[in-house]
Amino acid sequence: MRDVGEETATMADDLRNILNQLSVNDPEFLKVYVTQVLNRKLSESAIVTIGNDGVQSTAAVVSPDDNRKGDWIEAEYLKRIDAGENLVVAIKNNRIEAVTLIYGSPRSYLYTNRAESVPTFSLGTKAQSVLKDYRDMEIRSRSLQLQFNAALYFISLLIIGITVWVALIVADRLVRPVTNLVSAAQKIADGDLAARVDESDLREDEVGFLSQSFNRMTERLQSQTSTLISANRQLDDRRAFIEAVLESVTAGVISVDANGVIQLANSTAEKLLSGKLDTIAGQKFAKIAPALAVLLANGQSRAVVQLGDGPEPLTMAVRIVSEGANNVVTFEDISQQLADQRRAAWSDVARRIAHEIKNPLTPIQLAAERLQRRFGKEMENDRPIFEQLTSTIIRQVGDLRNIVDEFSAFARMPKPSFRLEDLHDILGHAVFLHEVAHPDIRFTYSHPDKAPSLICDRRQLGQAFTNILKNAVEAISENDVENGVISIELAVPNDEIHITVRDNGPGLPKDRERLIEPYVTTRKKGSGLGLAIVHKIAEEHFAQIFFNDANGGGAEVSIVFMPEIIAQKTTISPLTNDKKDSV
């Protein structure tokens, strides 16, 4: 019965597919229909259609009995199928019948049967034997049921474990490319542009294509980023180089845009224009440097201008270069250069004056002395007047000779002869001489316990200290200052050597920086060469001289020796008489 039912159901599916292509009256369909019946070892088969009136009509039939009459399908079978059964199998007489539905509209059924050749009594006996065997098997199956359930339980667990393991492998294989892609994207987001997705186990699907595209994208991104970083590094190096060059030059450099606003300025320009190192970028050029702005407005490319209205104006050499709408203004302080030129000119003048005046002085002095000796005793009436006149000539000639000697000293100052000297001894000797010569002035001298030594020219440095002290004494004496005081201080702050001379005289003029120029003096009898000689000696010794107002009134003159220059000279030529140029 099971075999007939399965064959009938399978045959119905086959016929349903064939009827979708061929009609029931088609000879090809009939051939297939007969083949199906024979191959499935069926005795008879019929395709029955039931109309709306409930009458059965045979559409096709395969049967060895051509004279069979009546309905093929019994009414009970139809009720069971209409009730929801897909297949009805039953035994009738010596055959097994099966009925199943082919189409629901119109209602078409497949009827099959298989005739059995075994006699009825033989079937009954065999059935009793089978029933007995079945009951024996049922008894045995109860004892095996628990074993079977236990085995099934463990096998099920094993199958589930294997299934989960396979599922994890498959899921990992499916998810791993996406996980690798997400991990690589996170590394890229964190800045690691060298991150890549492993392409060794990628499949040829959308995820694999996406991973390959991601790798190409990151490679291009890394290359472009490396190029940008290299370009930025080069720009930074060039900018740093340009800034270093601008900061190292002594000239001021300013970039001005078309609106007259300062875009860039080096520290020299900021110091020269604003007096301090505050930035002037972003300010109007006409406000910061109106004199230079006038040159820019007039389109001049070169000029020499003075900045500042005070006692110390700065002389600037200006050059303007236009680059499109922007302008680059370069200016340099040439005040010192002009002062050096003036000093050089005065040196030449002093040399000429000394040459022209010194020669007649000796004959004049000798003639006056001879007149005084020869005719001084012989004159009776005007003898006092004669001696006064000749003494005046001799004294004035001596004064002129002193002036000429100062001219010569300034014009032809000898090269310094450097030796390691005790600075305290040099300065103390100069102070002692003035202290003895001017007892009405109180001198104070302070110095450290361990006085520093200095590579210097003792004679020239002593002359410089003497000239400074002489100026202080003259400032007090000529102005009749009561209780005149001159303080001298030798100090070594920050490894520098500071020598400071203070007096309580009238103080310094406003244009004090010009005091180091030749023939500039505030003394009544000064030649204007004392401080000029001091400045020249300071330059020979790589020192700097400063003029300030003393606390409480008076003047303050300082000479500062730089330690690194002194150390360098000590290393190069200690205790030698080399010239300054070789030092």
Q: What is the CATH number of the domain that holds 55?
A: 3.30.450.40
Q: Per the domain annotation, does 15 fall within a domain?
A: yes
Same domain, residue pair 215 and 242: yes
How far apart are alpha carbons 442 and 485 in whole angstroms? 5
Same domain, residue pair 431 and 402: no
Same domain, residue pair 285 and 399: no
* Token reading at 525: 């009898």
Same domain, residue pair 386 and 424: no
Same domain, residue pair 39 and 142: no
Judge contact between 303 and 295, C-beta under 8 A: yes
How far apart are alpha carbons 100 and 42 in whole angstroms? 15
Same domain, residue pair 376 and 403: yes
Q: Per the domain annotation, does 423 fall within a domain?
A: yes
Our measurement of the distance from residue 70's CA atom to the centroid of its chain's CA atoms, rounded to an integer in Å, reads 105
Q: Per the domain annotation, does 125 fall within a domain?
A: no
Q: Per the domain annotation, does 210 fall within a domain?
A: yes
Give a three-class secondary structure readout of 433-447: HHHHHCCCCEEEEEC
Residue 270: the pLDDT is: 75
Judge contact between 558 and 545, C-beta under 8 A: yes
Residue 110: the pLDDT is: 94
Number of domain units in the chain: 5
Token pair 């389109």 is found at: 299
How far apart are alpha carbons 319 and 325 in whole angstroms? 17
Same domain, residue pair 187 and 254: no
- Among residues 304, 329, 354, which one ends one of the domains? 329
Backbone angles phi, psi at 498, to 5 degrees: -110, 125
Nearest CA to 114 out of 1, 194, 190, 192 is that of 1
Residue 454's CATH number: 3.30.565.10
Q: Per the domain annotation, does 342 fall within a domain?
A: yes
Same domain, residue pair 345 and 318: no
Q: Per the domain annotation, does 499 fall within a domain?
A: yes
Residue 173: the pLDDT is: 74
Same domain, residue pair 79 and 223: no
Residue 582: the pLDDT is: 32
Same domain, residue pair 113 and 257: no
Same domain, residue pair 161 and 197: yes
Q: Residue 290 sits in which domain range?
A: 250-329
Nearest CA to 175 out of 201, 194, 193, 196 is that of 201
How far apart are alpha carbons 480 and 482 in whole angstroms? 6
Judge contact between 46 and 63, C-beta under 8 A: yes
Residue 121: the pLDDT is: 46
The radius of gyration of the chain from alpha carbons, rounded to an integer in Å, stands at 64
Residue 278: the pLDDT is: 59
Token pair 């110091």 is found at: 271
**Cα distances (angstroms) measured from residue 334 to each of 51, 56, 212, 471:** 128, 132, 68, 29
Residue 360: the pLDDT is: 72
Our measurement of the distance from residue 73's CA atom to the centroid of its chain's CA atoms, rounded to an integer in Å, reads 96
Q: Could you say which residues of the chain have pLDDT below 70?
A: 117-125, 127, 200-203, 246-248, 250, 274-278, 306-314, 324-325, 334-359, 361, 374, 376-381, 399, 401-414, 514, 518-529, 563-583
Q: Per the domain annotation, does 212 fall within a domain?
A: yes
- Among residues 231, 248, 265, which one ends one of the domains? 248
Same domain, residue pair 100 and 173: no
Q: Per the domain annotation, does 508 fall within a domain?
A: yes
